[in-house]
Amino acid sequence: MTVYLNNYELRWPTALFVSEGHHLAHSNSRFWDDRVIWLLTEALVGTTAVADFEELPTQSPVVDDPWSDSTPRQVVTQREWFTELISRAGELRKEFAPAPYWPQRRGHEFSTAGGGPQNTRHAFVRIIKDFFDSGYLSEAFGEECVDEANDLPDASEVIERRLGIPHLWPLEPETWDEDSFYGLVEVFHDLVSRPRRRSWHSYGSEWHHYEFNSGPARILYRWKLNKMLRSSGIDYELSDEGADLGRLVAVTDDARAQLVHQLLSAPNTNIKERTENAITLFRGRTASVEIKRSAIVILAGILEERRPLLKETLIRKDEGALFQIMNEFTLRHRDVRQQGDYDEAFLDWFFWWFLATVELTNRLISSRTAPVSSESIIGAFGEARKEVVEGRNT
């Protein structure tokens, strides 16, 4: 059995397509084929996959003459084809953006998705329109039907109840200030919900959507919005985990993003809630100097509790240096003995160093193996400190 994967391009994240596909592969719903067609329509580029699926039989053909010597031709069923497609989803080509067209190569801003705040906001509106047209807002906003009295909620009021700002629907990007725009980016994350089934209403010439699930919709939303934000040069992204799930946070490099993931996905400990709180405070879009300092103080308190462990595992002078920074800079204490004349950029260095040390102590407590070299926490952030200093001097 062969699925001709070269004929298809995947427009969704692979993991999301596989997850939704597995859900369907094990389903015996009487609407199974409709749900598969809808998934293929959404997740793959074009209509080729849908056409291939529809040409297949729902069941293997029955051999009329069981005594016949001829070997029946093997026929792939829809379910077999779909199961193989999902199992080999990692081999699918990803949708790619075409090479720039003439106006874009000539630098015309009106042709460029990331060419400024207004273009970014119009790109956001296009994404929301796609979600709306695909029924992802039908659970929150309702759907019109010619056969029913359309007593639908006011979409503008639905948004206002969450965001506290009136008259934001229909979307009019020219009227938004920065807070309204970023607020809408976060609000729609919580409003979208994927319909796993749809049906065509021929009389009204419209689709109706059913079986809503917010989890897949929010994964897809974060993926699309974060791509848009990156292409626009905006240094925020929607968080994929933690207490600030679906909220805009400051973008970090891959290593620090992995550090955050390790701490947020760690088993529950007596310090996990405080660690999550510190991360949420520090990387929030509106984090001020005082908020960042508060996040650092939370981590310093955790490390103070674990100081005996650090004394056991670090060279003494390194353990002492760590707590010297905590106690002699205006972080936890503020009096004439503390140094307060350092550049605010050093708060980033303090935070990530302390956070890495918390993660190290988690691993030490979990494994209780041989002592770990002090380089694992001090050396690891030498380059981060260098970047902070260089950034300050530029």
Give residue-wise pLDDT tens across range 35-54: 999 999 999 999 999 999 99
Cβ neighbours of 150 (radius 10 Å): 10
What are 261's two structure tokens? 């993931």
Position of tokens 């707590």? Answer: 323
Q: What are residue 248's DSSP bridge partners?
A: 238
pLDDT tens per residue, range 71-121: 556 689 999 999 999 999 999 999 987 888 887 777 765 444 445 678 899
Quick one: CA dihedral 132, 138, 142, 145, positive or negative? positive
Q: Which residues is 198 bridged to in the sheet? A: 209
Within 8 A by CB and 6+ apart from 18, the residues are 86, 89, 90
Q: Which residues pair with 94 in a beta bridge?
A: 10
167: left (phi over 0), alpha (psi -120 to 50) or beta: left
Give the separation between CA 322 and CA 327, rounded to whole angstroms: 9
Rg (CA), the chain: 27
Tokens of 281: 């405070």
Give residue-wise pLDDT tens across range 138-192: 999 999 888 776 789 999 999 999 999 999 999 999 999 999 999 999 999 999 9
User: Does the structure show a pLDDT above 70 at 392?
Assistant: no
Q: At what angle do helices 214-231 and 178-191 cross, to 10 degrees?
A: 150
Residue 63 has pLDDT above 70, yes or no: no
pLDDT of 54 reads: 96
- Spatial separation of the C-alpha atoms in residues 227 and 223, rounded to whole Å: 6
How deeply is 258 buried, as exposed, middle or buried, from its count of CB atoms within 10 A (0-12, 13-18, 19+)?
exposed
Identify the three-state secondary structure at position 261: helix
Task: Round the average pLDDT of the chain to a whole number and report it.
Answer: 85
- For 136, phi and psi rounded to 5 degrees? -75, -10
Q: What is the C-alpha separation between 31 and 35, in angstroms, rounded?
A: 6
Mean pLDDT of all residues in 350-366: 91
Q: How many angstroms separate the CA atoms of 115 and 65, rounded?
A: 68
